[in-house]
Structure 1
Amino acid sequence: MNSNPDIQMKNPKASINLAALKEHIRAVYRADDRPWVIGYSGGKDSTCALQLIWSAVQELSVEERRKPVYVLSSDTLVETPIIVNYIDETLAAINAAAEIQGMPISAQKVVPEISDSFWVNLIGRGYPAPSKRFRWCTERLKIDPANTFIKNRVAEFGEVVMVLGVRSSESATRAQVMSLHKIDGTALSKHSTLPGAFVFTPIEAFSVDDVWAFLLQNESPWGSDNSDLLAMYRNAQAGECPLVVDKQTESCGNSRFGCWVCTVVTQDKAMEALVENGEEWLEPLLDLRNELAATQNPDRKREFRDFKRRDGSVTFVGDAETSIPGPYLFDYRKELLQKLLEAQELVNTNAPPGEKTTLIQDEELREIRRIWRSEEGDWGDAVSKIVMSITGRKLPLDGTDNYEFQPSDAEVLTKVCSEHDLPPRLLAQLLEAERSVRGLKRRTHIHRKVAAILEQEWRGEDAVLEERKERLALQRQHASSDPLFETET
């Protein structure tokens, strides 16, 4: 760790001296051999930081540009289409310009694992739309993909420096988080969760005016027009979502650019502003997002969600006679998939040239299909049928085998189960568990799978709730006849 005080800003609260700041950046860059990873979201702050870094490093000699600078953008796969297209074009321009200018800069995009994607969790597994109390999306969609890239660079180089375009004036919380891990005598901070990663925030002293002044007075080194970025902000009345690499980073919200499906906030002001300012082709996304938000209404949760949890258990709180809602009902998930594909078709029909988008990928559809078959006993292949009915195309089914159960098998299963008064889904799960270990020499896992399936609650909701009422009534009866209870009350 270099502790040279010369690489610190003389007075970060003073008006911005660009010449001094660039020299400061160059000093930090030359101080060690740790590669830099610049978090790039496509918004004003990250663009300002990247452009500033580029300008400063470009003034070094070719020999001094010895260590790589990775520009890292995180695509959650549910970003606002306009932003996705803008970032894709920008990353391509960055790589082309870096090669021409001999800069040690390379840009790449990370995405979540398909099994962790938003639609696989929400439509496939039935996770309810994210809320402040159950924000399951941030870690899966943002933190994990970025951290995997950073950990790989740490494994390769030993340590890395993350360059983030965050500003202390943006919020009191952010300023507190930024100062929490500062290393005395250096320009760096320790990363809050990643060993071997350090954080450098070159524009932390900038105000919003400083950011826009820099962007509009200095040409982009990769050829972008920053006035287009300003116009995009004006149309959306928006801020930006930073690259999220830990749970301390504030989530998007209010009028920020970010995931178009975000239901953590009450209103998606950025999307609403885009639609109001001429981007009417995005309205189907806003409608679908608002429908997801409506499922969070406490008075309507039971319309959309199962009475059981995903593991088949039923959970009650205190003396409540109704259970805690579980995942979205299977029928509602099928309805959501249909509406998502309809929105995709409508958006692409009305999108301006070059703005066509994919809301859900084939890989996600195949994973949803796999989950529905194994967990819901969906041998009728609802995913493929929905895709065909909405898009008119056949879903490619890579990796399927001749041992998959077919719709005709589902008919036989239903008949057998009705004769023996068994839930078809129970028997379907048991058969899928057996099929999953087909061909394996060691079948030890099958016992645990079968046990987990049999331990689920397979009775209907009415039977479970009736038993709950009887048990509570019995408890109250025993309590009222207990002398100790009478004394205490």
Structure 2
Amino acid sequence: MTLAKQFDLEDYIEFIEQEEFSGLPLKDYVANVQRVYLQDTRPWVIGYSGGKDSSAVMVLVYLALLGLKPEERHKHVFVVASDTLVETPIVVNHVNRSLEAIQRGAARDKLPITSHKVVPKTNETFWANLLGKGYPAPTRSFRWCTERMKIDPVSSFITDKVSQYEEVIVVLGSRSQESASRAQVIAKHKIDGSDLAKHTTLSNAFIYTPIDMWGVDDVWKILRFCHLEQQDTPYGVKNKWFDKYELEWETPWGGKNLVLWNLYKDSSGQGECPMVIDETTPSCGNSRFGCWTCTVVTKDRAMESLVQNGETWMLPLLKFRNILSRSTSPKLKKKYRSHIRRDGRLAFKTLREDGEKILTDDYTTGPYKLKYRKMAMTLLLRMQKQLSAKQKDLELITVPELHAVRHEWLNDPNEPDWDDSLPKIVFAELGLTLDWSVDDTNQFGNAEGELLNEIAPKHGVSPQMLKKLIDLETSMSGLVRRSGIFSKIGKLIQQDWESADDIIANNLELRQSQMRQSNHVKQLEQELKLINTLLEREGIK
């Protein structure tokens, strides 16, 4: 083995051979990883989140490859980290440094390991959806972010490797103790007589969980926090290795786990957000290694703990996140969000009585109103400018995302931004003039919009509907064939452009009319039934 030497190699070998993990010596787990690695030519994809579990499985795999002969390291290992672009900044820095260290260590030790980071598509990022399209902040009942920002990027990476190698093995740091539901899913898809399970959604991809039976103390043991005093050992783990060395052991690739331990310690021991590869992976919830914008839980206790433990520069992030969380309150939904969905219709809530659907006068809310999206964007950019003075490499929203948001605002299905507000907001807050594409802008602007806002109501017409009709005509002007234009005009006119109160009132009149018709039909049916009964009595059929 070639190792970064902070301690004697003999001690390291002794640790592998003597220390038990879930009742078995570590050498047995190393040998099992080597056996699975050598039994076929399928490359490995290691899901790396930077947290304790994925770091532990990374150490185990690295040790296993170090123990193989150079000629036996015959297939590639891709270490993949998913960056949602709204990860907690200190975690992003930790993951980036870790990936770089793994890459350097693998090159030094001549291991077939490479590090990779995947991100969501520009039009599917958190800000493109929330600020651009107006999607509400995620909740437990509407967690739209997981698939777009976590599952899809990793799935694309795996699918790409499948196309190159036909089959791949995805190595995860999943543990049964950490998630019983995830353990059940893996067990359900387990292949008989094999250490592998079938991927739940991707064909030709298989799952390998080498530390499945480990406890949390095993995880911290292999991460070697030897710098800690006995009473400070993580989760109460105590053995001779914590007493033997004053400094922490380096990872096999040369990185240090002190940063990782401090992250957990400063966040009150909150868990990590696992590498999400499908919908069966547990949500991040209260986890430490997740998005700073996460509103799935009411309070982000992990970020609060980080602020209390010295990371005070993160306080603006916490406040912004809390603003997003409050906007999901049932009492505030109708203030911040449109009554019209993105399909242009108001959706009434329904109840069930005796198995029948009953329409109510209440309705579900749609996307955030454009004026609130503009306010949130202003706050976000202002916060980025303030924090950048302290964290030089901090970027809360990327330039491609700004372009994506602008595109959504200009083409909003309900509130088209004729004023083209985003370039003005960016310049006002950051002093930047980006390369804004003129092709996306409309020939009509704020002056024309204000004129429509003034004139349209006098004629009982929605100004927003007129804007969309003009946008449609502009988009199709100059085309030789304007096929489908009447259908598109018809759809726009049929949308619910009135206020919520007017739509509810009209809906009430319609329902009353339908009820009268229904009662009339029922009366006719009863009369017809009575006539048939009388005819049968007279012997007339």
| Range that drifts further, 398-407 or 318-327 | 398-407
1:402 deviates by 7.9
CA distance in 2, matches of 1:485, 1:226: 79
Query: Residues 376-431 of structure 1: CA distance to partner in whole angstroms, max 9, x if unpaired?
Result: 22121111121122222223314736865444554565577467554332233233
CA distance in 2, matches of 1:150, 1:343: 36
CA contact (8 A) 2:30 2:61 kept: yes
CA distance in 1, matches of 2:409, 2:91: 32
Q: TM-score, normalised by structure 2?
A: 0.81
Which amino acid is the alignment partner of residue 337 of structure 2? Answer: R
**Equivalence for 1:228:** 259
CA contact (8 A) 1:275 1:281 kept: yes
Q: 1:460 to 1:402 in 2, by over 3 A?
A: closer
Which amino acid is the alignment partner of residue 235 of structure 1? Answer: D
1:94 deviates by 1.9
**Equivalence for 2:148:** 140
Q: Are 1:327 and 2:367 counterparts?
A: yes
1:96 deviates by 2.2
Among 400, 410, 428, which residue is 1:363 paired with? 400
Q: TM-score, normalised by structure 1?
A: 0.89
CA distance in 1, matches of 2:22, 2:320: 46
Query: Residues 310-340 of structure 1: CA distance to partner in whole angstroms, max 9, x if unpaired?
Result: 1111111234223211111111111111121
SS at match of 2:402: helix
SS at match of 1:162: strand
CA contact (8 A) 1:284 1:346 kept: no
Among 346, 363, 367, which residue is 1:314 paired with? 346
CA contact (8 A) 1:193 1:246 kept: yes
Which amino acid is the alignment partner of residue 309 of structure 1? Answer: R
Q: Are 1:386 and 2:425 counterparts?
A: yes
1:29 deviates by 0.5
Q: 1:147 to 1:401 in 2, by over 3 A?
A: closer
Q: 1:451 to 1:91 in 2, by over 3 A?
A: farther
**Equivalence for 2:109:** 101
| Range that drifts further, 423-432 or 18-27 | 423-432
**Equivalence for 2:352:** none
1:470 deviates by 3.2
CA distance in 2, matches of 1:303, 1:485: 46
CA RMSD between the two structures: 2.6
Q: 1:234 to 1:400 in 2, by over 3 A?
A: same
CA distance in 1, matches of 2:477, 2:219: 59
The aligned runs of 1:280-295 (5 Å cut-off) are 280-295=312-327
1:483 deviates by 6.9
Query: Residues 9-59 of structure 1: CA distance to partner in whole angstroms, max 9, x if unpaired?
Result: xxx994241111111111111111101000000101101111110111122
**Equivalence for 1:298:** 330
Q: Are 1:336 and 2:376 counterparts?
A: yes
Q: 1:418 to 1:313 in 2, by over 3 A?
A: closer
1:348 deviates by 2.4
CA distance in 2, matches of 1:485, 1:224: 82
1:221 deviates by 2.5
1:163 deviates by 0.2
Q: Are 1:81 and 2:81 counterparts?
A: no
Q: Are 1:111 and 2:119 counterparts?
A: yes
Q: Are 1:23 and 2:60 counterparts?
A: no
Q: 1:414 to 1:301 in 2, by over 3 A?
A: closer
Matched residue count: 472
CA contact (8 A) 1:165 1:204 kept: yes
CA contact (8 A) 2:22 2:215 kept: no
CA contact (8 A) 1:380 1:406 kept: yes
CA distance in 2, matches of 1:134, 1:114: 21
CA distance in 2, matches of 1:350, 1:484: 78
CA distance in 2, matches of 1:31, 1:131: 43
**Equivalence for 1:4:** none
The aligned runs of 1:53-452 (5 Å cut-off) are 53-216=61-224, 219-237=250-268, 238-317=270-349, 318-351=358-391, 356-375=393-412, 376-398=415-437, 400=439, 405-407=444-446, 410=449, 417=456, 421-437=460-476, 443-444=482-483, 446=485, 449-452=488-491
SS at match of 1:247: coil
Where in structure 2 are there 5+ consecutive unaligned residues? 1-19, 227-248, 350-357, 527-541
CA contact (8 A) 1:126 1:329 kept: yes
**Equivalence for 1:3:** none
SS at match of 2:348: coil
Q: 1:484 to 1:230 in 2, by over 3 A?
A: farther
CA distance in 1, matches of 2:360, 2:160: 48
CA distance in 2, matches of 1:132, 1:390: 33
SS at match of 1:322: strand
Where in structure 1 are there 5+ consecutive unaligned residues? 1-11
1:303 deviates by 0.9
Query: Residues 257-291 of structure 1: CA distance to partner in whole angstroms, max 9, x if unpaired?
Result: 20111111121111111011011111111111111
CA contact (8 A) 2:420 2:441 kept: no
Q: 1:424 to 1:248 in 2, by over 3 A?
A: same
CA contact (8 A) 1:362 1:396 kept: no
CA contact (8 A) 2:22 2:214 kept: no
**CA radius of gyration, larger in:** 2
Q: 1:448 to 1:361 in 2, by over 3 A?
A: farther
| Range that drifts further, 115-124 or 452-461 | 452-461
CA contact (8 A) 2:198 2:205 kept: yes
1:349 deviates by 3.2
1:136 deviates by 0.8
Q: 1:14 to 1:416 in 2, by over 3 A?
A: closer
